[in-house]
Amino acid sequence: MQNKDLGPAVKVQDVSITYRTTFERVPTFKSALVRLGRGERAVREVKAVQNVSFDVDHGTTIGIIGANGAGKSTLMRSLAGILPPTSGRIEVHGRVSTLLSLGVGFNAALSGKENVVLGGLAAGLSRKAIQERYEAIAAFAELGDFMEMPMRTYSSGMFSRLAFSVAVHMDPDILLIDEALSAGDASFKQKAADKMKELVTNSRTMFLVSHAMSSVRDLCNDAIWLDHGKLMMRGTPDEVIAEYTKFLQVSAKSAATLEDF
Ligand SMILES: Nc1ncnc2c1ncn2[C@@H]1O[C@H](COP(=O)(O)OP(=O)(O)OP(=O)(O)O)[C@@H](O)[C@H]1O
């Protein structure tokens, strides 16, 4: 574990992340000319995260809330080191384990068991350390014989159970969880929530992206709200949820007013 006196676990400094997407899969000369004639650009830019800065201390569980497309997953991908920021700087002090990167890293042609080994190696564990944890990972995921089957035969719920189980058993200093990806059935959700609470009491640092305000209230002691890539607010979960809810009500009202015209 990191020494808590060394400063924050994560420092996000003026981070912006822009996606550049081409319009067509295979741009043709003709379509390029047509677009040029219309004065359009071939590349569309999406500013998914804009000038976001915040620090997170060791032992904090921070909820990230905001509407669809607000930039939450994009920010998490950057924290996980999968997506470099377009500008700004992210410092991460400690070993990061993430549901998203492990999920992405799974190879569907390989069995659950083989993927646990690969995921563990990717997270920097030795083969011996992975072997020691394997039983606990398999037991937590409750997949039984499916551990020996290729992951392409898994339902999406089974897939996320294994991803969650691997992520939480990697002994991370910093755990990144996107609740949308950790979706299992009701009983697994409860088990996942209990496991997250246990990690929090062991003073791990955790980021939780969630649309469920109750999860953020239950699990987090800190929160940020993103909207259109911008940091709208940082505060306690209660404060941030109150402002976010107010904002949603106002937007819903103005949408209704516009519809009235
Ligand atoms: N790979 C990509 N290429 C281009 N644009 C992208 C890509 N991924 C996300 N975006 C865009 O970036 C913006 C932020 O998306 P992001 O997935 O980070 O939002 P989010 O807050 O996680 O949303 P949700 O709550 O729906 O999961 C959106 O406008 C989205 O269309």
> What is the residue extent of each domain of the chain?
58-73+94-260
| CA nearest to 166, candidates 215, 115, 209 | 115
Q: How far apart are CA 113 and CA 115, in angstroms?
A: 5
If you measure from the C-alpha of residue 124 to the centroid of ligand 1, how many angstroms do you get, rounded to a whole number? Answer: 28
What pLDDT is attached to residue 22?
72
Could you report the average pLDDT of every consecutive run of 10 residues in the chain (261 residues)? 67 96 68 72 86 95 95 93 94 83 74 91 87 94 95 90 87 84 76 84 87 91 97 97 93 63 46
What pLDDT is attached to residue 257?
56
What pLDDT is attached to residue 28?
74
| CA nearest to 140, candidates 100, 94, 199, 214 | 199
Residue from 68, 76, 78 to probe ligand 1 pocket by mutation (most atoms less than 8 Å from CB): 68
CB atoms within 10 A of CB 107: 13
Secondary structure of residue 69 in the 3-state scheme: coil
Q: Which residues line ligand 1 (CB under 6 A)?
A: 19, 21, 46, 48, 66, 68-74
Dihedral (CA of 11, 231, 240, 71) sign: negative
What pLDDT is attached to residue 23?
64
Nearest CA owner, ligand 1 atom 2: 19
What pLDDT is attached to residue 1?
46
Query: Would strands 10-22 and 174-178 be described as parallel, antiparallel, or unpaired?
Result: unpaired
If you measure from the C-alpha of residue 45 to the centroid of ligand 1, how many angstroms do you get, rounded to a whole number? Answer: 12
What pLDDT is attached to residue 149?
97
CATH number for the 58-73+94-260 domain, one of 3.40.50.1820, 3.30.70.270, 3.40.50.300, 3.30.390.50?
A: 3.40.50.300
If you measure from the C-alpha of residue 71 to the centroid of ligand 1, how many angstroms do you get, rounded to a whole number? Answer: 6
Residue 258 near residue 84, CB atoms below 8 Å: no
Residue 1 Cα distances to 6, 77, 130, 185, angstroms: 11, 22, 18, 32
If you measure from the C-alpha of residue 201 to the centroid of ligand 1, how many angstroms do you get, rounded to a whole number? Answer: 31
Q: How far apart are CA 101 and CA 18, in angstroms?
A: 20
If you measure from the C-alpha of residue 228 to the centroid of ligand 1, how many angstroms do you get, rounded to a whole number? Answer: 10
What pLDDT is attached to residue 261?
46
Per-position DSSP letters for 29-75, written without gaps between them: HHHHHHHHHHT--SEEEEEEEEEEEEEE-TT-EEEEE-STTSSHHHH
Number of residues assigned to the chain: 261
Nearest CA owner, ligand 1 atom 24: 68
* Atom in ligand 1 nearest the alpha carbon of residue 66: 21
If you measure from the C-alpha of residue 229 to the centroid of ligand 1, how many angstroms do you get, rounded to a whole number? Answer: 9
Q: How far apart are CA 66 and CA 154, in angstroms?
A: 30
What pLDDT is attached to residue 2?
45
Nearest CA owner, ligand 1 atom 16: 71
Q: How far apart are CA 17 and CA 169, in angstroms?
A: 30
Q: How far apart are CA 83 and CA 73, in angstroms?
A: 11
Nearest CA owner, ligand 1 atom 8: 74
Taking CA 76 as the corner, what is the angle to CA 106 and CA 20, rounded to the nearest 5 degrees? 90
Who contacts 5 (Cβ-Cβ below 8 Å, separation ≥6)? none
Q: Please tell me the number of Cα atoms within 13 Å of 193 on its side-chain side.
A: 17
